[in-house]
Amino acid sequence: MDFEAIIMEGTLILKIKGELDQYNADKYRVRFDMKIVSPEVQKVVIDISELSFMDSSGVGFLVGRFRTAKAFAKELVLVCNSNYINKLLSTCGIEKLIKKYTTIEEALS
């Protein structure tokens, strides 16, 4: 898994690429949370459009980041346009918990 973090006008954009599995989720959990709780961040956009694989640990990772953001009164949304990942998120019920958009532009508006 590779990720990029950008802060623009109070919005943290986390772009995750590759695989989001147990190994990677454990590896990046603390690093993501430190960025999410930063005082300059009001909104978090997690872009998972370039994920090639995600398992249940990846789903748990997203829910955990949502809870962290919520605990610090920050909005968290997802960007995803992959049929495979969308189906997984829908099956797990994530779409009821976290707003999802198909592009970063939609998520930022």
Q: How many domains does the chain have?
A: 1
| pTM beyond cutoff 0.75 | yes
Q: List the domain range (segments joined by +) for residue 29.
A: 2-108
Contact residues for 106 (Cβ-Cβ < 8 A; gap 6+): 79
Average pLDDT along the chain: 92
Residue-wise pLDDT tens for the chain (109 aa)? 788 899 999 999 999 999 999 988 888 888 899 999 999 999 999 999 999 999 999 999 999 999 999 999 999 999 999 999 999 999 999 988 999 999 999 999 8
Whether residue 34 contacts residue 7, with contact meaning beta carbons closer than 8 Å, is answered with: no
pLDDT in tens, 72-94: 999 999 999 999 999 999 999 99
- Helices (DSSP H) in 10-103: which residue ranges? 22-36, 56-71, 83-92, 94-97
Q: Which CATH number does the domain housing residue 6 bear?
A: 3.30.750.24
Q: Token pair 């990677």 is at which residue?
A: 24
